[in-house]
Amino acid sequence: MDPDVLSAALLAVVTPLAEARREGSTEGLTAADLPLERPKNRDHGDWASNAAMKLAKKVGANPRELAAEIAAGLESVDGIASVEVAGPGFINIRLDAAAAGALAKTIVESGAAFGSNDTQRGTSINLEFVSANPTGPLHIGHTRWAALGDSIARLLLASGATLVREFYINDAGAQMERFGRSVLAAALDQPTPEDGYAGEYIGELGSRVRAARPDIASLEPTEQIDVATELAYGMQLDEIQASLERFNVHFDVWFSERVLHARHEGKPSLVDEAVDRLREQGHVFDDEGAVWVRTTDFGDDKDRVIRRSNGEYTYFAADAAYYLNKGDRGFAHKIYLLGADHHGYVHRLKALAGAAGEDPEKNVEVLIGQLVSINGAKLSKRAGNIIELDDLQAWLGTDALRYSLGRYPADSPLTLDPEILQKRTNDNPVFYVQYAHARTHNVARNAASSGVDRSEFAPELLDHETESALLGALQEFPRVVAFAAEVREPHRVARYLEELAGLYHRWYDSCRVIPLGDEPVASVHRTRLWLNDATGQVLRNGLDLLGVSAPERM
């Protein structure tokens, strides 16, 4: 019996009891209003509910008396072994072994789909993250946003959302012109411009540009810059994309900022159209030759200039056009994952949503990630002033990085210890979880060689206390996934996996899947193999949500 079935049973018992009192309305009461929790003390049963305490005042009842009536009703439900009332009205529920153990088979048969849910079904989400300038390698900050953003995407997709992972390429503006001049200087063996980009990677790009266009020195100065900029831009973007793919981060859309500014056959650009559309909403005004958006109407600290008096658009204009474009592509909900230095964007984007006629509290969500550092990490030899993602991967490995960055809340500053991340001991959280998964496969291999298979399943035999605890944790996985998706917190999955790994190791020490000595293979061994494989499946599913591999041998 999984939590959803138990919640439905609880609702079926509570509803007629509440209606019979006819004091207050229970109209619209759902299973979601009657939460179940796993007691910290397993002696209190498999599940606990405070439904009686929550509803008592509403229906005019004494909480403990209502709890006793609910308990009496639940005792007749198939799969429930006993129900007790504790304290002022807590209801402690214990499942019979067969009902609890049936979950093992459900998990194995569900496979990779176990944990998926429909709590986000019907939502259309554009999730934008990383969005680094294509003027240099990805650095340690991008590494954190990449890990978190991708894991949030995996959680939302597992919860039924329609979602696109999007990378906004900042390939317009002054930084691209500086980048092009820097690469051109390197290609022509000239000194780096005073305001240019430095680092060995610029020299490498210059050499590649010169190899691709041996005639670059003979071109007109303007054409030289255009050629150097475009070639180096493509090369650097290719490197960024390759780095992210190696980090198990895939983007569905790479959106170029240039698209927003492009004009075709005299038609207005998307930025031009954005100004007109915001004006139609009544939130644009003109002052001293400049065009403004009255963002203070929506909580911004000041109104924003969208077009200067000289006719040039501001960065805010591109932000507006991009936001509107996301809506035009059918995304009702836009999530932005931004760095620690982007706090000012929160009010700006929410004000923009309001100015566009949308609900700032529903249609846009801005997540701010805090800084991350790694003890002993060295600045990139190629870039000179940053710690590169590629260097971190080569040093610590993708799995250690992805897991460690995923197991902490995004809004907490983070310092990682490389010595721990490289240990093959239980002190290393990712090793601890991956080792538990590898152990499930080792048990399965040894079982096969000993003649133990899954040809029989008798869930009532899974009655050891470690089996009860393990099954209780397995039941929680879909709810952990759904909640982590709702609050955008992948670390909840990581911490759950560590708890599950610990419970599995304790079960492994207490319950044998393989018979001892000449002991014949029995039903209990075959049934325990189901539980072993179910645990491996959940560990594998959880690691996948974090973008981490699940090795079968370690």
Q: Tens digits of per-residue pLDDT, 200-226?
A: 999 999 999 999 999 999 999 999 999
pLDDT of amino acid 85: 94
Average pLDDT for the chain:
93
Residue 386 has a pLDDT of 87
The pair of three-digit structure tokens given for residue 327, joined into one six-digit string: 């809506």
What pLDDT score does 261 carry? 95
Q: Tell me whether residue 22 is exposed, middle or buried, using C-beta atoms within 10 angstroms of its C-beta: 0 to 12, 13 to 18, 19 or more.
A: exposed
pLDDT at residue 554, rounded to an integer: 92
Instruction: At 498, give phi and psi (nearest 5°).
Output: -65, -40
pLDDT at 45: 82
Give residue-wise pLDDT tens across range 272-323: 999 999 999 999 999 999 999 999 999 888 999 999 999 999 999 999 999 9
Average pLDDT (474-488) is 96
Neighbours of 338 (CB within 10 A): 19
Given a cut of 60, is residue 402 above it in pLDDT? yes
CB 59 within 8 A of CB 21: yes
Q: Spell out the domain ranges in the chain.
A: 3-95, 101-119+423-545, 124-170+250-372, 174-246
pLDDT for the residue 24: 55
| E strand map for 294-371 | 304-307, 333-338, 364-368
Percent residues over pLDDT 90 in the chain: 79
Tell me the mean pLDDT in the region 154-174: 97
Q: Give the number of C-alpha atoms closer than 13 A to the C-alpha of residue 425, restricted to the C-beta side.
A: 4
How far apart CA 493 and CA 455 sit, in angstroms, is 32
pLDDT in tens, 357-371: 999 999 999 999 888
| In the chain, % of residues over pLDDT 70 | 98
Residue range 510-538: mean pLDDT, rounded: 96
pLDDT at 25 over 70: no
Tell whether the model's pLDDT for residue 143 goes beyond 70: yes
- Averaged pLDDT for residues 182-197: 96
CA dist., res. 399 & res. 414, Å (int): 17
Residue 267 is given by DSSP the state P
The fourth-level CATH superfamily of domain 101-119+423-545 is Isoleucyl-tRNA Synthetase; Domain 1 (1.10.730.10)
Determine the pLDDT at residue 23.
Answer: 57
pLDDT over 60 (residue 263): yes
Structure tokens at 35: 């939460």
Residue 552: per-residue pLDDT: 97
Sign of the alpha-carbon torsion through 536, 539, 545, 547: negative
For residue 458, give both structure tokens.
Answer: 């008798």
Nearest to 316 by CA among 366, 352, 363, 267: 352
Q: What is the pLDDT of residue 404?
A: 96
Output the pLDDT for position 22. 61
Query: Does 101-119+423-545 match 3-95 at the fold level?
Result: no
Residues sharing a CB contact under 8 Å with residue 310, sequence separation 6 or more, in sequence order: none
Between CA 475 and CA 482, with CA 476 as vertex, the angle to 5 degrees is: 125
pLDDT at 435 over 70: yes
C-alpha to C-alpha distance for 501 and 440, rounded to whole angstroms = 10
76 and 93 Cβ atoms separated by less than 8 Å: no
Q: Helix or strand or coil: residue 518?
A: coil
CATH number of 124-170+250-372: 3.40.50.620
pLDDT higher than 90, residue 382? no
**Domain 3-95, CATH class in plain words:** alpha beta
φ and ψ of 256, to 5 deg: -85, 130
Judged by DSSP in three states, 253 sits in strand
Strand ranges (E), 381-440: 414-416
Query: Range with the lowest mean pLDDT among 27-31, 233-237, 286-290, 398-402?
Result: 27-31
Tell me what pLDDT residue 26 has. 62
Residue 154, token pair as written in the block: 């995996």
